[in-house]
Structure 1
Amino acid sequence: MDSIKFNRAKDYLAMSYIGMWILLKKFKVQVQEGAPSAFFDYRNMSIVIPKEWVPRANERELASLLVHEMLHAILGHWIPLKGSEVDPKLWNVACDVEVNRILEEMNMLKDLENMSVRIIKAKPVTWRTFETLGVLPDDPAETVYDKLRGKIGSRSPNLAEAYGGASGFEDLPTEIVEGKRETVWEGDEEFAREVKETSVVDRSATRRLLAQALAEAIEVQKSAGNLPLGLKRRLEEFLSSKVSWRTELRSSLREGLGKSFRTWQRPNRRGLKNVPGYVRRGADIWFLVDTSGSITKRELSQFAGEVIEAAKYANRIHVVSWDAEVHQVLNSRNVSKLRNLLRSLKGGGGTVAEEPLKFVLSKMRFGDAVVILTDGYWFDEEEEEVLRLMKGIRMRSSSAILVTTEVVPKSAAEAKWKVVKIDVRDKQ
């Protein structure tokens, strides 16, 4: 019976809110016996629905509940609960205010309210609940939280009841009540793994992964004609937030390493026709360090720092120093060896990219990551051969990243390499 109800809710979303359905498919959905509330479990990126609620909700109400929890997940509301100093009950209510505003814009809030009143005997919290405290319709969760914290302080555990008798779901719990669960659908396991892994070490990278998924769904939902402005505003905030170049570089590398993919450039091992080969992406990184005369000691120092940092999580590092030709090559993961080589690097000569690119393309394996560290001033940036080599490396690699302190060579842009711009004054 549970599966039938969820399938009907899924079909309803697919027909009426396709963008929300695309986002919902990213996450695992489970039902749990005895769960005190619907909630998002960040430990395995799953939306958990109390089993006892399912037969009491129709498909539209269940769909609104699923979208409510999914929005907490995709907007990253669960991230501050891991180690930050927030009042968890107050934060939960603030996040509910933001999410329910988005549901209101999509005409889904009424369904959630009907279900909530029937099952937990309370209405969902909205911005109107706290309008007398200065909360506005378009306030994001962080702004709502600050306004509520400033006005009610220690009364936060009962704030919903104190302001209109409304209640928020306990859907961002600090302590998760365990119980028997059944999985309704698995979600996108690779996406969930990437989000979970990056959240441990780099929250900015996690928000960027969530923003990428959100952007795709927004484009689809826009074509359906019922795009919630709250989601669009949130995406713009995600994209406009400043991310350090070091964070961006390391995130790009992590996204490429250790994955698997299929490619027509590798024959199928089983000899199957019309089936591409399967390649395990390697964990090796090739760093092409530009040591031409235009590179300063400060830039070389920053280049060296990124190579040393990458050695902590790569299987092996290949450092290629070059200007008009290849000078030194070191293949190692040993940090002391890398430091010794990098200390000896000195700028000199012109910058011609063809030789180092040809060298790396001939030596790298399928799935290796390649990073060029340069100021971008290449004498041969517009040569056809350089463009061919850049495209070849990008197609063969898991991540092809150009890190530049000044300009982006034309061939790198045309070959569609990932570009990270270094601020040489960045102290982060």
Structure 2
Amino acid sequence: MAKKTTPDNPALKNFNEACSLIADHPIFAPLSVRASIIHNENSPYPEDGWAIVTNNGYIYTHPKRRGEVAEWMYVLAHCFLHLGLGHLKIKENQVAWNVACDVYIAKFLNDLKLGKVPADMESRIDLTIKDEQQLYEQFMIKGIPDTSRYFGTAGVSKLDMNVRETTKRYWGKAPDWEAYFAYGLSNAVTNAVSVAGGHANTISDPALSLTAPQRAKRWFMDRYPLLGALAAGFEIIEDPAICRRFDISIAAIDVIERKIFMNPAAGLNDEECIFVMAHELLHAGLQHHERCLGRDHYLWNVACDYVINLWLVEMSVGEYPRIGLLLDPELKGLSAETIYDRMVGDIRTYKKLATLRGNGLGDILDNGSSSFWDAREGQTLDDFCKNAMQQGLMYHEEQSRGLLPSGLVEEIRALGQPPIKWDVKLARWFDHYFSPLEKTRSYSRISRRQSSTPDIPRPQWVHSGAADDGRTFGVILDTSGSMDKKLLAKALGAISSYAQARDVPFARIIFCDACPYDAGYMPPEAIADRVQVKGRGGTILQPAIDLIQQAEDFPKKGPLLIITDGYCDKLTIKRDHAYILPKGNDLPFSPKGPVFRIN
């Protein structure tokens, strides 16, 4: 739409009002949301006319033309009908074809009773018209009558259709203008029935105008229970300006804010919108934004796209858009994690691939904030997505809606199983290295005597002294300035508790950031009690690892626990080890030991 530069300009006010009214009309709404109306002095507008239309969907209007609202509505509808009726074709006699189309549109608008014919354009139609093609053939034989040259919007005897526009304005395939016009006619008929039945006040009632993405959302809610609950919880954003701001070529999803962005300029029909919306909903339902876990966000997005697109094609959900989406049959049956691992070996190639958002951009937007999710709604975002997918699967199976890919069913059911917490995994790690100590009977110290037999001393169960040899481990603490204090407290508290429970007598503590600081051996109960963090400088962990590996008083087989936030260089470790990281962070290299992520 044209930008209003002069607030008190009545001519511009009439033009803007006409644009708004024609955009709300059910017949022209699908066309107007995808076409571009240019209303400025730098455009190739007709100097002696009102407007011209190009094959790429541009409508160039005269910026200085004074007209009533009804007149501008007539002119804009005339241009939209050129697009919707497929008139922008190259013919043998382009002038005759343009005039034939203008006369046919004038008859159409006269029957529709839309707008008002401008004073410098013809309104009387004396010809018997069947269609524009028959009229064109008649003009080719008998010539063009002089009165027929006044029906165009570019001026007398001027072409109001530019069929050779070369400016490319759409990513992927060009819009199907005739299909959009058919959707508009269908909407108009539906709305007319609704008005006649008393369900709406006027045929232009906004409640009756549904775009293709809105119809796709309603389709999921009415007919596809697997994703219906998820679709109901997301808002559809179709603002072209917002999509341009976020560089969204076709679609994207913001799970945190519960919004699905659909760019109307992508030119998707109803079936393609169903496919694209199912794609975005599966991103949310399978929690791909949470499962990234420190991986490269874009490559993880691409890996998930491969999996989702294969499932949707197999399930025949909607129509696969032929716009270069990621689809590789050789990856069928693989998980997103497996595909990601393959992609890491050839990052340069996969970085050039395009998602629904565009080249080099992921369609999972991750800049949201959890504060947008209202806690008063009674459940968290993760719980909502999990419950929606599980209930959808249950309804899908109960209603016998067809078979689903086994991989998709496994992932949905896995959502119902809570993940093993990091501290439980850490406990298992301790169990692996520190098995329970065997107890033996000892007479070196007499235990308590029983009251019934006070003269009979009984042996005491004690741990074997040799069993304590080598039962220790090293703890390397990243004390750099970027390290969270709460993370350190949680990690040290868990280590202290598990070490005491497994009868570990001492642990070797080393603080490290810019340089290592050896705190020596500490009993487990003192680790979380009196430890004072040293440092808070930069992150260089390798000196601390070298120090403990070369220490003569540390067992050669003693394992290491490394607590870090992940912002460190590649480490060289020659003994068993494990990492404790914050949730969402990852190491810049492939870790050889297990990784425990603190929630």
TM range (shorter): 0.3 to 0.5
TM-score normalized with structure 1 length: 0.41
Name the structure where helix makes up a greater proportion of residues.
1
TM-score normalized with structure 2 length: 0.30
With a CA cutoff of 8 Å and minimum separation of 6, indicate the structure with the bigger relative contact order.
Answer: 1
Specify the structure having the higher radius of gyration (Cα): 2
